[in-house]
Structure 1
Amino acid sequence: MPAADLDLTDAALQAAMANDIAELRSRFPETRALYREVCGLLFFRYGVTPTANKLYSLVRKGSMGTPAEVLQAFWQELRGRTRVTIDHPDLPDALKQVAAEAVKTIWQAANEAATGELATLRAEARHAASAAEAERDAARTETAAAREEVAATSAQLAEARQAHDAVQADLAAERQVHAATQARLEAGRAELDAAGRQLAELRTQFSTELERAREQVTLAQERAEASERRSLRELDAERTARQQSERTAEALRGQLVAVRSEARDAAVAQAEVRARLEAQSAALADRLASVEQAQRKSVSDLDTVQTELAAAERRAERAEAEAALVRQLLAELRMGPPERNGSGGRRRKADGPGPTEQQAQSERQAQEPGAPTAAQNPADGNDSSDDNDDSQQ
């Protein structure tokens, strides 16, 4: 039984046991019947001694008392089935008991032998399963290694292809570069040939120009010799001229000394004249200041006179206005009595000359309400008569 208990730790057995219990659930929906079948399954198929806790952990149905009751009934039924009873009418009871014990012993021995063989077969099966699992793991490892090798080979192949493509591209580029280099080489050769021809032409031209240059150098040397002789003559002339200029410079130095003395005398005279002019300028400045002061006084007097003149003009305008008013009043006084006399005045107007425009205006003002009359202003009338007398005289 301990070996059978250890079998429960095997994952494969637990999985098989779970499948069998699930099948029993579908076949035996009643709780007690299900527990009874699970007890037989554990004891007879898997060789596991059933307990109440183990049954409940596997079935998990009903209460905890149900698996205990079912387990007790299972053991009673099992003991009843294992008891051997020999019924024969001729055998005595003691012989029957001995025969039953012998059969029981034989059955137990056979059961133990079968259990041992079953354990051996299970051990062999577990060993075979372990070997198969080891082979499976080894095969998986080899497969993984092979896959890794295949992946590495594929990566290397891809890298090789990329390298091949890169080499092909480089080769094509090198071919293009080689073709371009060949073209440049051909062009360089053509240019070299042209340069050789130009060099030959330049050598010929250089030889010709060298001959010309030699001729020009000869002419230049001759011209230089002639120029040197001419320069020597000019140098002698320059020396003579320099001697003459030195003598002239001595004479000019004497004249310069005389001119400087005359300039000093003129400067002294100019200083005296400047002093006199400064004195005269100071006197003129004083006179100018006095004249400006007198001018400012004249301007002030002129402003005063202009102010008085403006006041006199205003008084004259006022007097002229008063005189005009007096003349108007006098004209009104002269025209007033004939109008009051009635027809005599009208006859005189009809016979005599017509009134002037000023008289007509005076009449209109007299007819307006509030116009001044001689009776209202006797003083004005007297003044008007005086003015009239003055005008007659």
Structure 2
Amino acid sequence: MTASPETTANEQSLQADIVQLRERFPETRALYREVCGLLFFRYGITPTANKLYGLVRKGSMGTPTEVLAQFWQDLRNKMHVTIAHPELPDALKVIAADAVQSIWQAANEAASGELAALRAEARLQASEAQAQRDQARAAVVVAEREAAVLQAGLDAAQQARAAVQGELEAERQSHAAAQARHDESKRQVEALERQLGEMHTQFSADLERTREQVVVAQERASATERRALREIDQERTLRQKAEQAAAELRTELAAMQARAQDAAVAAAEVRVRLQAERDTLSRQLAAAEQALGLGLAAQEGLRAELEAALRQAERAQAEATASRRLATTRRQVPATKTKLKFKAGPA
């Protein structure tokens, strides 16, 4: 549950008053006594021990209880009126005391009512002041936000103004350059117009010469056409002769094709005969190659036998030579050396 603005204001005011009382009354019991009077007389709150301890937070729980009991006792004593007059009877004293007490109570109640009205009015004014303060704070916040937005807009506007000034300066420079280019283009256009006039004059002269050349070309074309017609007639005559020659050539070609066909048949017969002869020669060549291979094999065998015989003869000759040397040494008689010669037969 949310507290009302009036309750919040009262609590804040009460806390502020208690802070002031703490400074004025450092003694614990005196501070509790003043807080009791503050709650009861100023704020219309009935003080209790727990309430006092919750506000002051000083000493033990017995201290606010004792102070509260003494506060109620003092309050009752103040409300009791005693008439001390020696000449008055006791009954009159009691009546006078009751009357004074009634007057004091009535005055106290009237004062309490006025105090309650004043408190309500003060609370209302405090609530209104707090509401106005909240509104003022909200207005200040809104104003600050608006000021920030305005400042941001102002900064953006200044930046945009600077950018626009830069663009304007660039545009001025560009305009000056464009004006210079325009003047230069104007001069070039004037020069081109002069050149165009000269070219127009030259074109007229060239056109006249071209017309003369066209006339000459037409005359040449007429002559060429006549010559072409003559050549066409000649070509037609030549084509007729060529067609006649082609017919003769076709006839001759047919005869040549017939002769070629006969020659092809004869060539086929010759080819068959030559093929048979080639097959026969191939078989004969294979037989000759086989016989040659056999002869070569036999020759190789004979050569091997001859080489073996030669090696045997060389060994025999070496042995004979050694024997003769040995015999010569023993006899010391010169002897005629006999040299064996072997003649290789045909391979």
Which bracket does the TM-score occupy, shorter chain normalised? 0.7 to 0.9
Contact 1:86 1:96 in 2 (8 A): yes
Change (3 A) 1:333 1:129: same
Give distance in 2, aligned partners of 1:9 and 1:219: 123
Match of 1:293 in 2: 290
Is 1:73 the counterpart of 2:70? The answer is yes
- The one-letter amino acid paired with 1:106 is I
Change (3 A) 1:323 1:47: same
Q: Say which of 176, 180, 186 aligns to 1:179.
A: 176
In the TM superposition, what is the alpha-carbon distance from 1:173 to its structure 2 partner? 4.6
Bigger relative contact order, structure 1 or 2, given CA contacts below 8 A and separation 6+? 2
Is 1:306 the counterpart of 2:341? The answer is no
Change (3 A) 1:294 1:120: same
Q: Say which of 80, 95, 102 aligns to 2:92.
A: 95
Q: Say which of 277, 281, 284 aligns to 1:284.
A: 281
Worse overlay, 109-118 or 321-330? 321-330
In the TM superposition, what is the alpha-carbon distance from 1:328 to its structure 2 partner? 5.8
Match of 2:10 in 1: 10
Which blocks of at least 5 consecutive residues in structure 2 are unaligned?
1-5, 339-347
Match of 2:47 in 1: 50
Match of 2:115 in 1: 118
Deviation by residue 1:206-261 (Cα, 9 ceiling, x = unmatched): 22222222222222222233333333443444444445545555555555455555
Equivalent residues in 2 for 1:1-393 (5 A)?
A: 10-23=10-23, 27-29=26-28, 32=29, 34-246=31-243, 248-249=245-246, 252=249, 255-256=252-253, 259-260=256-257, 262-264=259-261, 266-323=263-320, 325-327=322-324, 329-330=326-327, 333=330
In the TM superposition, what is the alpha-carbon distance from 1:162 to its structure 2 partner? 4.8
- The one-letter amino acid paired with 1:289 is A
Change (3 A) 1:43 1:281: closer
Change (3 A) 1:37 1:299: same
- The one-letter amino acid paired with 2:108 is N
In the TM superposition, what is the alpha-carbon distance from 1:27 to its structure 2 partner? 1.5
Give distance in 1, aligned partners of 2:91 and 2:254: 194
In the TM superposition, what is the alpha-carbon distance from 1:323 to its structure 2 partner? 3.9
- The one-letter amino acid paired with 1:284 is L
Contact 1:84 1:103 in 2 (8 A): yes
Worse overlay, 298-307 or 282-291? 298-307
Give distance in 2, aligned partners of 1:389 and 1:203: 136
Give distance in 2, aligned partners of 1:235 and 1:9: 131
Contact 1:7 1:13 in 2 (8 A): no
Worse overlay, 148-157 or 273-282? 148-157
Q: Between the two proteins, what is the percent identity of the paired residues?
A: 55
Worse overlay, 169-178 or 193-202? 169-178
Contact 1:56 1:64 in 2 (8 A): yes
- What is the TM-score of this pair, normalised by structure 2? 0.75
Contact 2:40 2:47 in 1 (8 A): yes
- The one-letter amino acid paired with 1:124 is E
Which blocks of at least 5 consecutive residues in structure 1 are unaligned?
1-5, 336-351, 353-387
Deviation by residue 1:242-281 (Cα, 9 ceiling, x = unmatched): 4554555555555545555554554455444434433332
Deviation by residue 1:28-74 (Cα, 9 ceiling, x = unmatched): 15xx5554444344345544332222222223345444433332233
In the TM superposition, what is the alpha-carbon distance from 1:304 to its structure 2 partner? 1.8
Match of 1:369 in 2: none
Give distance in 2, aligned partners of 1:322 and 1:297: 38
- The one-letter amino acid paired with 1:56 is Y
- Cα RMSD between the aligned structures? 3.8
Higher Cα Rg, which structure: 1
In the TM superposition, what is the alpha-carbon distance from 1:294 to its structure 2 partner? 0.4
Count of paired positions: 333
In the TM superposition, what is the alpha-carbon distance from 1:286 to its structure 2 partner? 1.8
Contact 1:8 1:14 in 2 (8 A): no
Give distance in 2, aligned partners of 1:249 and 1:272: 34
Give distance in 2, aligned partners of 1:46 and 1:243: 149
Worse overlay, 223-232 or 268-277? 268-277
Contact 2:53 2:64 in 1 (8 A): yes
Give distance in 1, aligned partners of 2:326 and 2:161: 143
Change (3 A) 1:16 1:278: closer
Give distance in 2, aligned partners of 1:223 and 1:299: 93
Change (3 A) 1:228 1:125: closer
Give distance in 2, aligned partners of 1:9 and 1:162: 48
Give distance in 2, aligned partners of 1:328 and 1:94: 207
